[in-house]
Amino acid sequence: MELASLLETCGDTTVLAAAGALVGFVFGLTAQRTRFCTRAAVIESCQGQLGPRFAVWWLGFSACWLAVQILVMLGALQPQTSRMTLSDTGSKR
């Protein structure tokens, strides 16, 4: 099923809520299994200890950043057309 037909069938709100729940569940499960904890990484770095928690946090951050950049390069992600970056100032482009 394509995204456009899913949006027409179920509506924006339902599809976005389901996608958010799925991403949250996958992230939560992964974070629990890998013991990923941003709070622990911040405390570790504030104490001047750059240990395993801080390293895992940077690995996760770097992987996300790299994935987004690759998706933008491939044209699969177009942030300039995102609802969050569009402004309604009335100015013409």
Query: Residues 35-80: pLDDT tens digits?
Result: 777 888 888 888 888 888 888 888 888 999 999 999 999 988 888 8
| Six-digit token string for 62 | 């770097």
* 49 or 3, greater pLDDT: 49
Split at pLDDT 50, 70, 90, the class of 20 is very high
pLDDT at 70: 95
**Span 16-31, mean pLDDT?**
90
Question: Interhelix angle for 38-46 vs 52-74, to 10°?
Answer: 120
